[in-house]
Structure 1
């Protein structure tokens, strides 16, 4: 091993706003003490950081001319919970992009408020 992962960093135009968006999804602790670098930390110590990028150009999923750059997958325990999760992330500012379908396994694709794709996955666990 050469190193350990410190955190995953997401470029965005509003670090505090995007940090709050993902805090609502994950329930992790939010540190907004630096307006240009906001960090979410899980109880286990995993960190997700949001870095100010004033000229950020959001991806346009699934347009290959504007690739997704990265995406986050979130597990939803049961298919029955997906609609409630969909309503919750949409109320937080997510934009629905795509439903993969599937009665038992699949994912819903959304864009976060900065345009980054993320998925609510079900039946994957």
Structure 2
């Protein structure tokens, strides 16, 4: 007797990248002003707030620092950088363009790897 679940074409459950989700939540909080310029970001507090372990938070913070949204001060902590209204406007405009290009590329020539990354990005 075969297992009926193995006979149908049920889509596989997607593995979501937790660090990516944390990254997006933090960047939105920075851009919306929930995290103020100069505010110290504490990994443990963020992890507890989002209900995740420290690992995805650390990964997200490293990525945010590389992109210039936050900065680390040795033996002091990680802090939110300040942005002018013009810089914030540019960031939003760039995000809109990139998201539109990614969607267009996926629609024109659906690359399985690109689609997977877009699904993970949420």
Q: Would you say same fold, with TM above 0.5?
A: no
The normalised TM-score by structure 2 is 0.27
> Which structure carries more relative contact order (alpha carbon 8 Å, separation 6+)?
2
Larger radius of gyration: 2
